[in-house]
């Protein structure tokens, strides 16, 4: 019990109200009706094959790193990429610029050559 003039900072559980989506309408639709409804929704049109061809291809940093079986720290150190930048790319906060995309493409195709080229000269 708080004293006079003090607040009670105990934690109370907050419950979220259950979602109020009625799926019966969607369940009662045929596949064709669902497709027509999706096409009529101007806010969320399905992606068409011609849309995919116009989309820019971004190297998937996490996929490249996992294929090489490297942790984020190992990948960053091996290829001289700041760890924060790597995490931003992997988590989608930032997208690699054109030079970084080209660098990632080279890493994905020739990782050993890139590593060797980055070794310090003696």
Are residue 43 and residue 68 in the same domain, yes or no?
A: no
Provide the domain limits for residue 68: 61-118
Q: Which of 35-39, 51-55, 68-72, 84-88 has the lowest mean pLDDT?
A: 51-55
Question: Per the domain annotation, does 99 fall within a domain?
Answer: yes
Predicted confidence (pLDDT) at residue 83 exceeds the cutoff of 80? yes
Please report where in the chains the tokens 């989506």 appear, as a residue: 21
Residues 79 and 118 sit within 8 Å (Cβ to Cβ): yes
Q: Which residues of 7-31 are buried (b: 16+ CB within 10 A; e: fewer)?
A: eeeeeeeeeeeeeeeeeeeeeeeee
20-66 pLDDT per residue, tens: 777 788 888 898 988 888 888 888 777 788 888 777 666 789 999 99
Mean pLDDT across 83-103: 92
Identify whether residues 114 and 65 lie together within a single domain. yes
- Report yes or no on 72 lying in a domain: yes
Q: Is residue 106 part of a domain?
A: yes
Q: What totals of helices (H) and strands (E) does the chain contain, helices first? A: 8, 0
Residue 73 binned pLDDT confidence (cut-offs 50, 70, 90):
very high
Average pLDDT value for residue range 78-92: 93
Domain end among 54, 69, 95: 54
72 and 96 assigned to the same domain: yes
The better pLDDT of the pair 121, 61 is held by: 61
Number of folded domains in the chain? 2
Taking the CB of residue 65, how many other CB atoms lie within 10 A of it? 23
């Amino acid at each position: 019990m708080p004293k006079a003039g003090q607040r009670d900072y105990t934690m109370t559980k907050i419950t979220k109200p259950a979602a109020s989506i009625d799926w019966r309408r969607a369940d009662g639709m045929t596949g064709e009706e669902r497709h027509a409804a999706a096409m009529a929704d101007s806010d969320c049109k399905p992606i068409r094959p011609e849309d995919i061809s116009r989309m820019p291809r971004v190297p998937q940093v996490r996929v490249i790193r996992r294929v090489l079986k490297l942790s984020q720290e190992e990948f960053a150190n091996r290829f001289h990429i700041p760890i924060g930048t790597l995490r931003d790319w992997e988590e989608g906060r930032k997208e690699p610029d054109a030079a970084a995309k080209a660098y990632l493409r080279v890493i994905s195709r020739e990782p050993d050559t890139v590593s060797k080229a980055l070794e310090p000269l003696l």
